[in-house]
Structure 1
Amino acid sequence: MTKNNDSKSVVRKVTKRQIKTPQSLIHIKHTISLFQYKLWILLLQEFKRQFDLNEPTDDRGFRYVSMSYIEQHIGYAPSRQDIIDDLRALRKEEICFNYFEKDGNKTQYFSGFISEMKVTRLTIGFKFPSVIDDVMLGLDDAKAIFQMLNWDVFNHFSGKYEAIIYKLCKDYLGVGRTPYMTVDEFREYMGIKPTEYAEFMKLNEWVIRKPTKSINTSDISDITVEPIYSRNGRKVIGLHFLVTPKHQTSFPFIESQTNPAFAHAKVTIALSDQETYLALFSSEQISLSIDRANQYCDELKKKEKTINYGAIYKTAITENWGQQIIEQRSIHTSEQLDVSNDTLKNLASQPQNTKKSDESDWSIIHQKFLMRFTALPEDEQHELIQGCIKAQKDVFKGVMRKNYEALDLKILEKPSFTTLLWPYLAELWQEPITKIL
C-alpha cells in the first residue's frame, strides 16, 4: 500500500495470479534450474487452461503457448536460444514427482519433464509425457489435493533455494509445518549433489538459513518459515519447517480491474482474453452474452449436468449470444408499447443514431466481401477460411474451427465468423475496409 503527500491511504485492487497444480507435481526433486522449473509450471498451467476450454492440440499433438505469455509471467524477455536450451534440459532430466506421497500414492520416477518441444520466434510448442497428462487431467477429481501457489510471490524469488523452500512451505501453511526429512532426503529434494556443501555447517548457511531469512524479510512474501532441527547428540540428522502466514507490506504486481462488461461472469476471465473480446464486441454485447450464458448454465444445473463456465463463456461471447436477448427485448417492446401516429412521425423525422449508422456501414462491408468471396472457387474459399482461423488468437481458434467443421461454407451465415473473416481478407487483399465506406 502506498501513501500520498497528505498521508491518506491509496486503496488499490490487487488480483493475485494463482496457479493450481496437484500435489504430485508440486513435490518434485529440484534437479533442474529455477528458471526451468518456473517455465515448466507455466506450461502445466497453460495445458490445463486449454484443456478446460476444450482447445484441441494440433495434428501432431502439440499445444502452444505464446512467448509474450512467458515474458509476462517471468518479468523479462529470455532469449530464444536460452528457452531452447532450458526446454532441452527439461526433456532430458529425470523427473521424480509426488516426493512426499501426500496424496496417498507412491513416489514415481520417469524420464523427462516434457517429451517433445519446438520453438519459434512467437510460440513454444510442447508435449508432456503421458503420465503427466494423466495427472493433470485428473485435477478435477473430488479426491485430488491441490495447492494454490501465488505466482507473483514465487516468481519474485531469484534464488533457487529460497523459491523451493517458499513453495514447499506455502503448501503446508494450513498444517503449520512441513514433513520431517532426514538431511539426505532434504539434499535430494533440493537437488544438491553429495559433493556440494558436504559439511552440514555450509549446507545450513547457504541452503537453509540464508533462504529462510530472505523469505522472512521480504516485503512481498506472505509467509514466514522457521527451520527446526532434529539432533543425535550434536549432529543434525533431520529437519522440518514451521510455517505461519504473514501480512504482505507490498505487492509485486497491480493488475487493472476487470472491465464492467465481465462483472456477471462466475469465473475469472483472463485480462488478455478480455482485451481480445473488447476489440471485437461492444461492452453491452459482451455483458448480454455472459447473461445469456448464465441462463444456459442455470438450465444445465437444473438438469444436473456438468458446467464448464470458462468454455461456455468463450463460446457465448465469440458467437454473440447476447444478440438473442436484444431480439427478445425488441419483440417485447413492440408488443407492449402503444405509440401514437404522431409519436411515430416524430421518431421517423429524427436523425439515425450512431449505432444504426455503424450497422449500416457493416452491412455494406459484409455484402461487398461476401460477393467477392463467394465468386471464388470453393477450394480457394476453404483455403482462405483455414488461413483466417490459423491467424486468429488462441482464444478464438477452437470455437472457429469447431463451427467451420460443423457448418462448412454455411459458416458465412454466422456474423460471429464473418466479423473476423472480413478484416482478415481486407488485409490479405490489401483492400482497407475504410476504402469501401
Structure 2
Amino acid sequence: MKNDLVVKDNVLINASYNLELTEQRLILLAIVNARESGKGITSDSTLEIHASDYAKRFNVTIDAAYKALKEAANTLFERKFHYAAPLKDYPQLKVYFFKARWVSRIAYADDFATLAITFAPDVVPLITCLEARFTQYQLKQISQLTSKYAIRLYELLISWRSVGKMPMIELAEFREKLGIEPTEYQRMELLKRRVLEPAIKQINQYTDIRVKYEQHKQGRTITGFTFSFKIISEINKLEKVRDEFDINKIFKKMTDKQRHLFANKLSELPEMGQYSEGTESYQQFAVRIAEMLQDSQKFEELFPYLQKVGFQTA
C-alpha cells in the first residue's frame, strides 16, 4: 500500500461540519490521492477516486463502494464547513468566521465507477500550503471506524499528539465540531450512549491511541469534557522497559539530588506536556515532577522519559 498520509491544516481540523461516514472517507481519500500524485493541486485540479480503491482502503465490498461514490455525487456538493481564521491579506486583523464548500465540482462516471472531485478554493490551501500548524496521520488509522463521530474525534485528539491530552472543550463546541445538529441527542444520556462512548470504543479498538475522558460539571449539569490519550507505541515502550529493567530497584536507588536534576530536564521535554496543569511555569512543573518521581507507579510511567533525558540505570 502506498504512503496513505492524511495532512490537514489545524484550521481544518478544528472546523465545524457535518459529513456522513462515506463523505468523510471520500474527502480523506481525495486528500491522500492528491499527495500521492506528487503533482500538487489547485482549485482547478480534478481528483479521481475509484470504487476499487475505496473498497480496498476501507475494507468494504465493491458494491458498497459503488453505492458510496454514487451517493456522494448527489450529496457532497451541498456540504459546507465553518472555520475561523484571519483574512489572508490582513493577518493582523481580528479572526473572521468563514463558511465554505468542500468541493466546487463533483461528478460520477457510472461506467467506470469513478468519482471526480475538485476541491473548493478555501480547502486547497488547508491541505497543501502547510506550515507549522498541521496535523497528520495514516489513513489506515481511521479506515475501520464506522462512526462518523469517531473519525472527527480521532482527528481532534491526534492534533494534540505532542501533549497526549485535549484541553477542556465546552459541550456546545464539542457538539458543533462533531457535526451534531441542535435537534440531535439533546439529552446527555443519549449523547453519551449514541455518540461519545461508541466513538471512544471504536478509537480504542481500531486506532493507534487509547483514549479516556472526564466530564466537567457546573452543579449537576455537564458542561464539557476533557480527553487524555496514550499512543500505543508509547504503551509498548513502557511494557518493553518493564521486561528489561527492575524498575522498583532503580526507583529505590534514585537520590533526591537526581530526582530534582532530572525533574528539571523533564519539565522542558515536549512529551511531558500531557502532565502539565494550567499555566504553571517550568519551575513549578519541575517541582511537581520531582514529587511525582517519589511515587513508584509514577516513576515507572515516567521512566522512558527519564532515559530520554539521560538518566542512567547502572
TM-score category by the smaller chain? 0.5 to 0.7
SS in 2 for 1:115: strand
Equivalent in 145, 157, 181 of residue 157 of structure 1: 145
| Amino acid across the alignment from 1:123 | T
Larger Rg: 1
* Distance in 2 (alpha carbons) for counterparts of 1:168 and 1:177: 10
Structure 2 equivalent of residue 115 of structure 1:
104
> TM (normalized to structure 1)?
0.46
Structure 1 residue 91: deviation in Å?
1.0
Offset of 1:124 from its aligned partner? Answer: 2.3
Q: CA 1:91/1:55 → structure 2, altered by over 3 Å: closer, same or farther?
A: closer
For 1:189 and 1:29, the matched residues in 2 are separated by 4
Distance across 2 between alignment mates of 1:79 and 1:67: 5
Structure 1 gaps of 5+ residues are: 1-13, 250-437
Select 2:176's aligned residue among 173, 188, 198: 188
Q: 1:131 to 1:183 in 2, by over 3 A?
A: same
Residues 40 and 87 from structure 1, CA distance in 2 versus in 1: closer, same or farther, beyond 3 angstroms? farther
Q: Select the residue among 4, 11, 14 that pairs with 1:27.
A: 14
Cα shift readout 1:88-141 (whole Å, capped 9, x = no counterpart): 322102212469xxxx994643342111012212432221111212333313xx
Counting only pairs closer than 5 Å after superposition, residues 21-100 of structure 1 correspond to structure 2 as 21-50=8-37, 52-53=38-39, 61-76=45-60, 77=62, 78-97=64-83
CA contact (8 A) 2:49 2:116 kept: yes
Partner SS state of residue 172, structure 1: coil
For 1:128, the equivalent position in structure 2 comes to: 119
Partners of 1:126 and 1:248 in 2: CA distance: 38
Contact 2:84-2:97 at 8 Å conserved across structures: yes
Residue 225 of structure 1 corresponds to 211
- Could you say which structure has the higher strand fraction? 2
For residues 173 and 33 of structure 2, the distance between their equivalents in structure 1, rounded to whole angstroms, comes to 31
Q: How many residues align?
A: 226
Q: Which residue of 1 aligns with 2:287?
A: none
Give the whole-Å Cα distance in 1 for the aligned partners of 2:47 and 2:160.
32
Distance 2:41 2:178 in 1: 35
**CA-based RMSD:** 3.3
Contact 2:107–2:116, Cα closer than 8 Å, also in 1: yes
Contact (CA 8 Å) 1:96, 1:107: kept in 2 or not?
Answer: no
* Native 8 Å contact 2:29 2:49 kept in 1: no
Report the TM-score when normalising by structure 2. 0.62
Larger RCO (alpha carbons 8 Å, 6+ apart): 2
C-alpha deviation, 1:33, in angstroms: 0.4
Q: How does 1:198-213 map to 2 (within 5 A)?
A: 198-213=186-201
Aligned residues of 1:94 and 1:111 also touching (Cα < 8 A): yes
Deviations 1:24-77 (A, max 9, x none): 222332411011111111112222333x336899xx753434333333222232
Q: Is the 8 A contact 2:30 2:47 kept in 1?
A: no
User: Where do 5+ consecutive residues of structure 2 fail to align?
Assistant: 86-91, 236-314
Normalized per residue, the structure richer in helix is 1
Task: Encode CA deviations 1:388-433: one digit per residue, 9 max, x unaligned.
Answer: xxxxxxxxxxxxxxxxxxxxxxxxxxxxxxxxxxxxxxxxxxxxxx
Q: Deviations over 1:160-181 (max 9, x none)?
A: 2223222221221212211322
Instruction: Give the CA deviation at 1:81.
Output: 4.8
1:247: Cα distance to partner? 4.7
1:71 & 1:111 partners in 2: Cα distance? 29
The AA in structure 2 aligned to 1:131 is D
Structure 2 match to 1:179: 167
Is the Cα–Cα contact under 8 Å of residues 84 and 98 in structure 2 kept in the other structure?
no
- Contact 2:21–2:147 (Cα < 8 Å) also in 1: yes
Tell me the percent identity: 19
